[in-house]
């Protein structure tokens, strides 16, 4: 009887607690949807959560004073801005989640941020961009997390193509360099990968580039195709994605911009030597010994407008000669570098679980409940 009474009391407390609306793309699945689902799984442990589709949000009736989380903030709010402005007084708090793909966000993006109660972004780099651009509300850093499979023992590939690559590696003692070309080849630095690997291939015949592509077409796809025959176009299960990371030795994170670059963290978690420039969102999770110190500030989106475009600044690209020299050093000392990566990861891996991310989100939302 006491158990039933306690359960009833807890239920009433739950119903009387401040509701949290989480607004995100439900009607179709994009990268924001995947991240939001992980957030929601963790937040439901602590709050009364309501999931709201981005398309339904502007017309949603409000009968309470919810804390509203909007993810991605800029895209959803600008769809029906006047309706959003009119609803702000009905919310207890508005927390936006978004990124900074360049080192500046536009004036309209800044104004939208300052309408919110607080902003969440995924890296220290992004936070610095928001503050430097003029955002006055609190800006918090909450990184992406890793699924549990990335903490499990090494995986053997099940996909036929990956099995062939695995056998070739064993037979020929190949060193595999991995690069993901999902989209945005210019921002991801596909041309830099081409320049560096082309030179490295002349020096080391056993070093091979593996490219995982989203859509096998376009200028950057053809560029990389000209220097490697190891291209993966098939969809990979999560098991085989992890097995691909496990098979490879070095990951080239040559992005010129981006708010987090999850592939770099995933590769690091599987013991790959991840090389990246010393300026960018990835410096939160990469140790100093993997960073290429010399970088160049570049405009990789040429025709952006500093007023209307959300991401209108510059990025940072690795110096090609410095990158070649760093990659040579890693290849010639690969066993040592991989041991240092494992040692580093064992010290920091607890920070990157979705459970740890959930606790960061919880502590932020509690400030506004």
C-alpha 355/C-alpha 213 separation (Å) is 30
* 187: nearest Cα among 317, 276, 354: 317
C-alpha 321/C-alpha 108 separation (Å) is 38
Averaged pLDDT of the chain: 93
* DSSP label at residue 229: S
Residue 6 confidence (pLDDT): 44
Give domain limits for the chain.
Answer: 2-145+355-365, 149-350
- In the chain, what percentage of residues exceed pLDDT 70? 96
261 in the Ramachandran plot: left (φ > 0), alpha (ψ -120 to 50) or beta?
left
The mean pLDDT value for 13-32 works out to 84
Residue 29 confidence (pLDDT): 87
Residue 308 confidence (pLDDT): 87
R_g of the chain computed on alpha carbons = 22
Residue 133 confidence (pLDDT): 97
Is residue 36 classed as helix, strand or coil in its secondary structure?
helix
- Same topology, domains 2-145+355-365 and 149-350? Answer is yes
The mean pLDDT value for 196-224 works out to 93
C-alpha 184/C-alpha 263 separation (Å) is 14
Lowest-pLDDT range, 11-15, 226-230, 277-281, 337-341? 11-15
209 in the Ramachandran plot: left (φ > 0), alpha (ψ -120 to 50) or beta?
beta
pLDDT digits (tens, 9 = 90+) for 123-180: 999 999 999 999 999 999 999 999 999 999 999 999 999 999 999 999 999 999 999 9
Rounded-to-10 torsion of CA 61, 63, 64, 70: -10
Q: Is the pLDDT of residue 18 over 50?
A: yes
* 69: nearest Cα among 45, 43, 46, 41: 43
Longest Cα–Cα distance of the chain, Å, equals 77
Q: Which two tokens stand for residue 102?
A: 């360049």
Q: Is the pLDDT of residue 4 over 80?
A: no
Homologous superfamily of 2-145+355-365: Glycogen Phosphorylase B; (3.40.50.2000)
Q: Is the pLDDT of residue 7 over 80?
A: no
Count of residues making up the chain: 369
- In the chain, what percentage of residues exceed pLDDT 90? 84
CA 239 from centre of chain: 19
Q: Which two tokens stand for residue 14?
A: 């739950």
Q: Is the pLDDT of residue 13 over 90?
A: no
Residue 16 confidence (pLDDT): 53
Answer whether CATH 3.40.50.80 is correct for domain 149-350: no
pLDDT digits (tens, 9 = 90+) for 69-85: 999 999 999 999 899 99
Residue 215 confidence (pLDDT): 81
The mean pLDDT value for 273-301 works out to 96
The mean pLDDT value for 31-52 works out to 95
C-alpha 308/C-alpha 317 separation (Å) is 25
Instruction: Report residue 15's pLDDT band, with 50, 70 and 90 as the boundaries.
Output: low
């Amino acid at each position: 009887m006491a158990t039933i009474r306690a359960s009833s009391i807890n239920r009433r407390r739950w119903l009387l607690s401040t509701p949290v609306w989480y607004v995100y793309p439900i009607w179709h699945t994009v990268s924001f949807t995947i991240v939001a689902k992980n957030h929601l799984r963790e937040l439901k442990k602590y709050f009364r959560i309501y999931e709201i589709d981005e398309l339904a949000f502007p017309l949603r009736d409000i009968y309470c004073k919810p804390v509203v989380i909007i993810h991605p903030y800029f895209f959803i709010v600008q769809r029906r801005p006047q309706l959003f402005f009119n609803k702000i007084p009905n919310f207890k708090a508005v927390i936006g989640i978004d990124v900074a793909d360049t080192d500046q966000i536009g004036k309209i993006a800044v104004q939208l941020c300052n309408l919110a109660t607080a902003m969440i972004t995924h890296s220290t780099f992004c936070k610095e961009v928001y503050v430097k651009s003029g955002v006055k509300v609190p800006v918090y850093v909450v990184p992406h997390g890793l699924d549990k499979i990335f903490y499990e023992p090494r995986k053997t590939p099940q996909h036929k193509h990956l099995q062939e690559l695995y056998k070739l590696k064993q037979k020929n003692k190949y060193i595999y360099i991995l690069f993901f070309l999902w989209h945005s080849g210019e921002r991801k630095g596909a041309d830099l990968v081409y320049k560096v690997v082309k030179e490295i291939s002349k020096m080391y015949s056993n070093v091979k580039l593996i490219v995982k592509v989203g859509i096998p077409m376009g200028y950057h796809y053809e560029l990389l195709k000209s220097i490697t025959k190891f291209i993966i176009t098939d969809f990979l299960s999560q098991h085989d994605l992890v097995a691909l990371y496990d098979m490879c030795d070095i990951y080239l994170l040559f992005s010129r911009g981006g708010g987090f670059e999850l592939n770099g963290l995933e590769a690091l978690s599987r013991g790959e030597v991840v090389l990246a420039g010393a300026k960018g969102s990835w410096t939160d999770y990469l140790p100093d010994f993997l960073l290429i110190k010399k970088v160049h500030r570049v405009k990789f989106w040429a025709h952006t407008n500093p007023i209307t475009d959300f991401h209108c600044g510059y990025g940072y690209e690795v110096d090609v000669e410095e990158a070649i020299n760093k990659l040579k050093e890693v290849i010639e000392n690969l066993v040592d570098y991989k041991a240092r990566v494992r040692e580093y990861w064992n010290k920091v891996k607890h920070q990157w679980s979705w459970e740890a991310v959930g606790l960061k989100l919880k502590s932020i939302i509690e400030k506004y409940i």
